[in-house]
């Protein structure tokens, strides 16, 4: 694979990258509740199909998916097999990548479950 194709290996993994998927989920959760509160306060019901919200949900899922894919690629970097008892740079990278991958999966499902009521419910009662 060319150097251009290995761009995910050059990314620096830190604890900040670990919080990206849950932060996207949190932002989406906040946006969904704000959208529901504002639309119910204005019209007393959801006015129409929330196209802008669906677009935001798709963008959130794409960003979480990209974060998970990068973490998956970095978790597969060659190194010593488990258990990772040594505190080497590659072991720390693979641990953070695996944790980010798991959080990305949880955040992906969380965004889906947050979006379902907004998309399917039409009454504000």
2-61 pLDDT, tens digit each: 565 566 566 666 788 889 999 999 999 999 888 878 877 776 655 666 788 889 999 999
β-pair partners for 123: 45
Q: Which residues, in sequence order, are bridge partners of residue 45?
A: 123
The confidence score (pLDDT) of residue 21 equals 95
Q: What is the pLDDT of residue 82?
A: 66
Neighbour-count burial of 22, counting CB atoms closer than 10 A to its CB (0-12 exposed, 13-18 middle, 19+ buried): middle
The domain limits of the chain are 17-120
């Amino acid at each position: 694979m060319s150097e251009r194709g290995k761009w995910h290996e050059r990314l620096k993994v830190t604890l900040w990258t670990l919080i990206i998927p849950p932060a996207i989920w949190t932002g989406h959760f906040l946006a969904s509740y704000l959208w529901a509160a504002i639309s119910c306060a204005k019209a007393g019901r959801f006015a129409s199909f929330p196209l802008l919200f669906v677009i935001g949900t798709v963008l959130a899922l794409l960003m979480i998916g990209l974060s998970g894919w990068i973490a998956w690629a970095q978790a597969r970097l060659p190194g010593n097999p488990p258990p990772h008892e040594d505190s080497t740079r590659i072991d720390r990278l693979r641990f953070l990548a695996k944790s980010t991958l798991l959080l990305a999966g949880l955040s992906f499902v969380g965004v889906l479950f947050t979006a379902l009521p907004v998309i399917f419910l039409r009454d504000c009662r």
